[in-house]
């Protein structure tokens, strides 16, 4: 099963309705599988015949399997179906400032294997070529019997999803890099590219926080600092997908010089690189020290958490989401960071419930792999018919 490279644009209303129904069926199974077809019909409001047709299609694609013998009542409508996590894998690539993460995920979004590859000093084309080789190795070594659905690519900076291009990623030094076209050529797979904050919004909505489907803001604070916002199932992109650029939001009490020429910008103030420079050691070493409870290191992270809290409070008041997810490596590693962010949010936000609205990512330790994989898996859950059986 591979995606149709020549998939036609769905302009007819019937086709769009059919895709929406198939998506609803697949999501019901994701949420509640194993689940009987009759229950899917009740949950989705679709007719028994429609559910039966969609599950038959999804079974043919190898996305589902039946679990016979677990229901007492006789008759196919009551035989439970569930996602078949053993048939396919989604390839994932996340491009961070200093390393690439290449991974494989199953269709429930579980990371099966991930590999980190440093790429300092390599040109964009060489980074992508190396990532394609690693993906090939992972597929051979960890999923020899599974079919790849394709490759999802996520990164920070300005990513135009429609053209699969990294328009501008100043910290990587990339400009107008046609990532999708380059990787399609080298892997032969369907490749989809999106910004990592937007992709993690999709991941939270599919596999993560239960309230993320109402509305969610994702604030990503690594070396890149950016954000994404979704209401209902829709992530806001704006023209050329430029939404979510919070890197240059001003924060109080910061004199940190920014690459934009001003001082006190959010990214320049809280980025991992800045913290590492202030501490005089590489970021992973500093994180390990803080995780072990070393007082000075912990204080650096707590001070930074309060600065992140300033931005979180602003986003919370402007966008009023059901949940605000902060994706930051210190939250899982350093005790007290999430409480410090929440405390600052509570002081600054006008919302009475603001502090408890702020949570850490649902994917600690695998957030980068998940970001890449979710670019592709979101396409799958949005329209399973996009993926068609190549063996037919």
The residue ranges that bind Zn ion (CB under 5 A) are 248, 258, 260, 265
Four-point Cα dihedral 187, 92, 227, 353, nearest 10: 160
Nearer to Zn ion, 48 or 260 (CB): 260
| Cβ neighbours, 10 Å, residue 391 | 8
Task: Give the span between the Cα atoms of 196 and 351, in whole angstroms.
Answer: 27
Nearer to Zn ion, 157 or 164 (CB): 157
| Cβ neighbours, 10 Å, residue 294 | 13
Find the shortest distance in angstroms from Cβ 247 to Zn ion. 6
Nearer to Zn ion, 123 or 260 (CB): 260
Nearer to Zn ion, 241 or 269 (CB): 269
Find the shortest distance in angstroms from Cβ 54 to Zn ion. 48
Find the shortest distance in angstroms from Cβ 264 to Zn ion. 8
H helix intervals, the chain = 13-32, 37-44, 48-60, 124-142, 179-187, 196-207, 266-270, 272-279, 283-291, 295-319, 329-333, 337-348, 354-357, 367-382
Nearer to Zn ion, 260 or 296 (CB): 260
Find the shortest distance in angstroms from Cβ 35 to Zn ion. 49
Nearer to Zn ion, 76 or 259 (CB): 259
End-to-end C-alpha distance for the chain, whole angstroms: 9
Task: Give the span between the Cα atoms of 150 and 71, in whole angstroms.
Answer: 35
Find the shortest distance in angstroms from Cβ 243 to Zn ion. 18
Q: Prior bond to 34 cis, omega within 30?
A: yes
Nearer to Zn ion, 93 or 258 (CB): 258
Find the shortest distance in angstroms from Cβ 257 to Zn ion. 9
Task: Give the span between the Cα atoms of 89 and 113, in whole angstroms.
Answer: 11
Nearer to Zn ion, 259 or 351 (CB): 259
| Cβ neighbours, 10 Å, residue 250 | 15
Residue 340 — left, alpha, or beta (φ > 0 → left; ψ -120 to 50 → alpha)? alpha
| Cβ neighbours, 10 Å, residue 85 | 17
Q: Using alpha carbons, list the distances in angstroms from residue 383 to 10, 25, 27, 364.
A: 11, 11, 10, 28
The three-state secondary structure class of 261 is coil
Find the shortest distance in angstroms from Cβ 265 to Zn ion. 3
Find the shortest distance in angstroms from Cβ 305 to Zn ion. 20
């Amino acid at each position: 099963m591979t995606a149709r490279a020549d998939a036609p644009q769905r302009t007819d209303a019937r086709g769009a309705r059919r895709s929406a129904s198939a998506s609803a069926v697949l999501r019901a199974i994701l949420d509640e599988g194993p689940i009987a077809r009759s229950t899917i019909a009740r949950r989705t409001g679709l007719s028994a015949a429609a559910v039966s047709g969609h599950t038959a299609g999804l079974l043919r694609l190898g996305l589902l399997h039946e679990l016979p013998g677990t229901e007492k009542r006789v008759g196919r409508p009551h035989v439970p179906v569930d996602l078949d996590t053993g048939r396919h894998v989604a390839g994932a690539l996340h491009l961070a400032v200093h390393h690439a993460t290449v991974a494989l995920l199953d269709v429930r979004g579980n990371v099966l294997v991930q590999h980190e590859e440093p790429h300092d000093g390599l040109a964009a084309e060489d980074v992508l070529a190396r990532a394609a080789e690693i993906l090939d190795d992972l597929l051979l070594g960890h999923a020899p019997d599974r079919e790849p659905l394709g490759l999802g690519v996520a990164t920070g900076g300005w990513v135009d999803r429609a053209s699969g291009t990294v328009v501008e990623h100043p910290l990587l030094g990339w400009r107008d890099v046609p990532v999708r076209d380059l990787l399609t050529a080298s892997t032969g797979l369907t490749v989809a590219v999106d910004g990592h904050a937007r992709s993690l919004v999709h991941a939270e909505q599919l596999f993560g926080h239960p309230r993320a489907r109402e509305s969610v803001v994702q604030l990503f604070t690594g070396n890149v600092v950016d954000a994404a916002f979704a209401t209902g199932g829709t992530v806001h992109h704006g023209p050329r997908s430029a939404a979510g650029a919070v890197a240059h939001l001003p924060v109080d009490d910061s004199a940190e010089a920014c690459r934009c020429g001003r001082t006190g910008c959010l990214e320049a103030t809280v980025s991992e690189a800045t913290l590492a420079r202030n501490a005089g050691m590489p970021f992973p070493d500093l994180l390990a020290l803080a995780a072990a409870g070393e007082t000075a290191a912990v204080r650096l992270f707590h001070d930074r958490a309060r600065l992140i809290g300033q931005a979180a409070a602003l986003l919370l008041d402007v966008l009023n989401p059901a949940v605000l997810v902060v994706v930051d490596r210190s939250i899982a590693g350093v005790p007290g960071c999430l409480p410090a962010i929440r405390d600052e949010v509570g002081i600054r936000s006008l919302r009475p419930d603001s502090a408890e609205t702020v949570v850490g990512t649902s994917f600690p330790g695998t957030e980068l792999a998940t970001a890449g994989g979710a670019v592709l898996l979101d396409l799958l859950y949005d329209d399973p018919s996009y993926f068609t059986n190549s063996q037919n």
